[in-house]
Structure 1
Amino acid sequence: MAKTYVTAVITAREGCAAALESELRKVVDAVRAEPGCLRYDLHRAGGVFLFYEIWASPAHLEAHGRTPHMAAMHAATADLTARPSEVALWEAVETAG
Protein backbone atom coordinates (compact mmCIF):
# COMPACT_ATOMS: atom_id res chain seq x y z
CA MET A 1 0.00 0.00 0.00
CA ALA A 2 1.13 3.53 -0.71
CA LYS A 3 2.03 5.97 2.00
CA THR A 4 -0.54 8.70 2.57
CA TYR A 5 0.56 12.27 3.15
CA VAL A 6 -1.77 14.78 4.81
CA THR A 7 -1.76 18.46 5.65
CA ALA A 8 -4.44 19.89 7.90
CA VAL A 9 -4.64 23.65 8.43
CA ILE A 10 -6.61 24.88 11.44
CA THR A 11 -7.24 28.60 11.94
CA ALA A 12 -7.94 29.97 15.40
CA ARG A 13 -10.85 32.24 16.12
CA GLU A 14 -9.74 35.74 17.19
CA GLY A 15 -8.28 35.56 20.69
CA CYS A 16 -8.35 31.74 20.83
CA ALA A 17 -4.90 30.77 19.48
CA ALA A 18 -3.42 29.81 22.85
CA ALA A 19 -6.43 27.71 23.82
CA LEU A 20 -6.51 26.06 20.39
CA GLU A 21 -2.81 25.22 20.58
CA SER A 22 -3.33 23.66 24.00
CA GLU A 23 -6.10 21.39 22.68
CA LEU A 24 -4.16 20.43 19.53
CA ARG A 25 -1.06 19.52 21.56
CA LYS A 26 -3.11 17.06 23.62
CA VAL A 27 -3.54 14.61 20.73
CA VAL A 28 0.01 14.54 19.36
CA ASP A 29 1.42 11.72 21.52
CA ALA A 30 -1.72 9.59 21.16
CA VAL A 31 -1.70 9.97 17.38
CA ARG A 32 2.01 9.20 17.11
CA ALA A 33 1.32 5.93 18.97
CA GLU A 34 -1.38 4.85 16.48
CA PRO A 35 -0.62 1.92 14.17
CA GLY A 36 0.58 3.17 10.80
CA CYS A 37 1.48 6.68 11.94
CA LEU A 38 4.89 7.45 10.47
CA ARG A 39 4.90 11.19 11.19
CA TYR A 40 2.57 13.62 12.95
CA ASP A 41 3.95 17.11 13.46
CA LEU A 42 2.26 20.31 14.64
CA HIS A 43 3.42 23.70 13.35
CA ARG A 44 2.22 27.24 14.06
CA ALA A 45 2.30 30.62 12.30
CA GLY A 46 0.45 33.15 14.44
CA GLY A 47 -3.10 31.86 14.85
CA VAL A 48 -2.82 29.27 12.07
CA PHE A 49 -1.79 25.69 12.85
CA LEU A 50 -0.60 23.00 10.47
CA PHE A 51 -0.49 19.28 11.05
CA TYR A 52 1.87 17.45 8.69
CA GLU A 53 1.16 13.73 8.67
CA ILE A 54 2.48 10.61 6.99
CA TRP A 55 0.52 7.37 7.26
CA ALA A 56 1.59 3.90 6.17
CA SER A 57 -1.60 3.51 4.13
CA PRO A 58 -5.00 5.06 3.45
CA ALA A 59 -6.53 2.45 5.78
CA HIS A 60 -4.36 3.68 8.67
CA LEU A 61 -5.45 7.27 8.01
CA GLU A 62 -9.08 6.18 7.92
CA ALA A 63 -8.71 4.37 11.27
CA HIS A 64 -7.05 7.49 12.72
CA GLY A 65 -10.14 9.53 11.93
CA ARG A 66 -12.29 7.19 14.02
CA THR A 67 -10.22 7.27 17.22
CA PRO A 68 -11.72 8.58 20.45
CA HIS A 69 -8.91 11.12 20.94
CA MET A 70 -9.63 12.70 17.54
CA ALA A 71 -13.36 12.89 18.32
CA ALA A 72 -12.52 14.54 21.64
CA MET A 73 -10.15 17.00 19.95
CA HIS A 74 -12.78 17.98 17.37
CA ALA A 75 -15.35 18.56 20.11
CA ALA A 76 -12.91 20.57 22.25
CA THR A 77 -11.82 22.82 19.37
CA ALA A 78 -15.18 23.46 17.67
CA ASP A 79 -15.66 26.86 19.33
CA LEU A 80 -11.99 27.82 19.04
CA THR A 81 -11.70 27.75 15.24
CA ALA A 82 -12.54 30.46 12.74
CA ARG A 83 -13.50 28.07 9.93
CA PRO A 84 -13.52 24.37 9.07
CA SER A 85 -10.11 22.73 8.84
CA GLU A 86 -8.52 22.61 5.41
CA VAL A 87 -7.37 19.03 4.88
CA ALA A 88 -5.44 17.90 1.80
CA LEU A 89 -4.20 14.45 0.79
CA TRP A 90 -0.93 14.35 -1.12
CA GLU A 91 0.97 11.84 -3.26
CA ALA A 92 4.74 11.64 -3.35
CA VAL A 93 6.25 12.68 -6.66
CA GLU A 94 9.14 10.45 -7.67
CA THR A 95 12.02 12.66 -8.72
CA ALA A 96 14.83 10.11 -9.10
CA GLY A 97 15.93 9.78 -12.70
Structure 2
Amino acid sequence: MISITAIFKSKTESTEQLQSMLNHLVTETRKEAACVRYDLHASENVFIIWEEWKDQPGLDIHNNQPYLQDFISKCESLVSSPIQVYKTLQIL
Protein backbone atom coordinates (compact mmCIF):
# COMPACT_ATOMS: atom_id res chain seq x y z
CA MET A 1 0.00 0.00 0.00
CA ILE A 2 1.22 3.49 -0.85
CA SER A 3 0.24 6.53 1.19
CA ILE A 4 0.35 10.12 -0.01
CA THR A 5 -0.20 13.28 2.00
CA ALA A 6 -0.68 16.48 0.01
CA ILE A 7 -0.87 19.87 1.73
CA PHE A 8 -2.36 22.98 0.11
CA LYS A 9 -2.19 26.42 1.72
CA SER A 10 -4.78 28.60 0.07
CA LYS A 11 -4.53 32.32 -0.43
CA THR A 12 -7.14 33.87 1.86
CA GLU A 13 -9.21 35.18 -1.04
CA SER A 14 -9.11 31.80 -2.83
CA THR A 15 -10.14 29.42 -0.06
CA GLU A 16 -13.68 28.74 -1.31
CA GLN A 17 -12.57 28.29 -4.92
CA LEU A 18 -9.77 25.92 -3.94
CA GLN A 19 -12.08 23.88 -1.73
CA SER A 20 -14.58 23.54 -4.57
CA MET A 21 -11.84 22.33 -6.90
CA LEU A 22 -10.56 19.90 -4.27
CA ASN A 23 -14.08 18.54 -3.73
CA HIS A 24 -14.28 17.77 -7.47
CA LEU A 25 -10.83 16.18 -7.43
CA VAL A 26 -11.80 13.92 -4.51
CA THR A 27 -15.07 12.87 -6.16
CA GLU A 28 -13.34 11.90 -9.41
CA THR A 29 -10.35 10.22 -7.76
CA ARG A 30 -12.50 7.99 -5.56
CA LYS A 31 -13.83 6.38 -8.76
CA GLU A 32 -10.37 5.03 -9.67
CA ALA A 33 -9.89 1.28 -9.23
CA ALA A 34 -6.56 1.56 -7.38
CA CYS A 35 -7.80 4.22 -4.95
CA VAL A 36 -8.25 2.78 -1.45
CA ARG A 37 -8.73 6.11 0.34
CA TYR A 38 -8.80 9.74 -0.75
CA ASP A 39 -9.90 12.01 2.09
CA LEU A 40 -9.97 15.79 2.29
CA HIS A 41 -9.28 17.55 5.61
CA ALA A 42 -9.22 21.29 6.33
CA SER A 43 -8.17 23.80 8.96
CA GLU A 44 -8.90 27.41 8.04
CA ASN A 45 -7.06 27.96 4.73
CA VAL A 46 -5.04 24.72 4.84
CA PHE A 47 -6.30 21.62 3.03
CA ILE A 48 -4.81 18.17 3.38
CA ILE A 49 -5.53 15.20 1.16
CA TRP A 50 -4.73 11.84 2.68
CA GLU A 51 -4.46 9.16 0.02
CA GLU A 52 -3.92 5.40 -0.02
CA TRP A 53 -3.26 3.47 -3.21
CA LYS A 54 -3.21 -0.27 -3.90
CA ASP A 55 0.01 -0.11 -5.91
CA GLN A 56 2.39 2.09 -7.89
CA PRO A 57 0.83 1.33 -11.30
CA GLY A 58 -2.52 2.57 -9.98
CA LEU A 59 -0.92 5.72 -8.60
CA ASP A 60 0.81 6.27 -11.94
CA ILE A 61 -2.56 6.08 -13.71
CA HIS A 62 -3.97 8.61 -11.22
CA ASN A 63 -1.06 11.00 -11.75
CA ASN A 64 -1.79 11.05 -15.49
CA GLN A 65 -5.55 11.64 -15.25
CA PRO A 66 -6.65 14.76 -17.18
CA TYR A 67 -8.72 16.01 -14.24
CA LEU A 68 -5.67 15.86 -11.94
CA GLN A 69 -3.45 17.63 -14.47
CA ASP A 70 -6.15 20.29 -14.94
CA PHE A 71 -6.47 20.73 -11.17
CA ILE A 72 -2.72 21.16 -10.72
CA SER A 73 -2.44 23.79 -13.44
CA LYS A 74 -5.41 25.78 -12.14
CA CYS A 75 -4.67 25.62 -8.41
CA GLU A 76 -1.15 27.03 -8.66
CA SER A 77 -2.53 30.58 -8.70
CA LEU A 78 -4.77 29.86 -5.68
CA VAL A 79 -2.13 28.68 -3.20
CA SER A 80 0.11 30.87 -1.08
CA SER A 81 3.04 28.44 -1.11
CA PRO A 82 4.12 25.44 -3.16
CA ILE A 83 2.02 22.31 -2.72
CA GLN A 84 3.77 19.83 -0.43
CA VAL A 85 3.45 16.15 -1.34
CA TYR A 86 4.83 13.31 0.77
CA LYS A 87 4.87 9.71 -0.47
CA THR A 88 5.24 7.31 2.42
CA LEU A 89 5.12 3.62 3.22
CA GLN A 90 3.57 2.40 6.45
CA ILE A 91 6.24 1.02 8.77
CA LEU A 92 4.09 0.00 11.78
Structure with more of its chain in helix, by fraction: 2
- CA distance in 1 between partners of 2:6 and 2:88 (Å): 11
> Which residue does the alignment assign to 2:75?
77
Structure number with bigger Rg: 1
Give ranges in structure 2 of 5+ residues lacking alignment: none
Kindly report the root-mean-square deviation, in angstroms, between the aligned alpha carbons of the 2 structures. 1.0
> Which residue does the alignment assign to 2:15?
17
Q: How much does 1:61 deviate?
A: 1.1
Structure 1 residue matching 2:79: 3-state secondary structure? coil
- CA distance in 2 between partners of 1:22 and 1:40 (Å): 15
- CA distance in 1 between partners of 2:17 and 2:28 (Å): 19
Of 48, 54, 63, the residue aligned with 1:65 is 63
> Which residue does the alignment assign to 1:5?
3
Length, aligned pairs only: 92
- TM-score of the aligned structures, taking structure 2 as reference length: 0.93
Structure 2 residue matching 1:64: 3-state secondary structure? helix
- Aligned identity (percent) is 26
What are the Cα deviations for residues 1-27 of structure 1, in whole angstroms up to 9, with x where unaligned? xx1001000110132111110111111
Q: How much does 1:83 deviate?
A: 1.5
What are the Cα deviations for residues 35-82 of structure 1, in whole angstroms up to 9, with x where unaligned? 200000001001000000000012211211100110111122121111
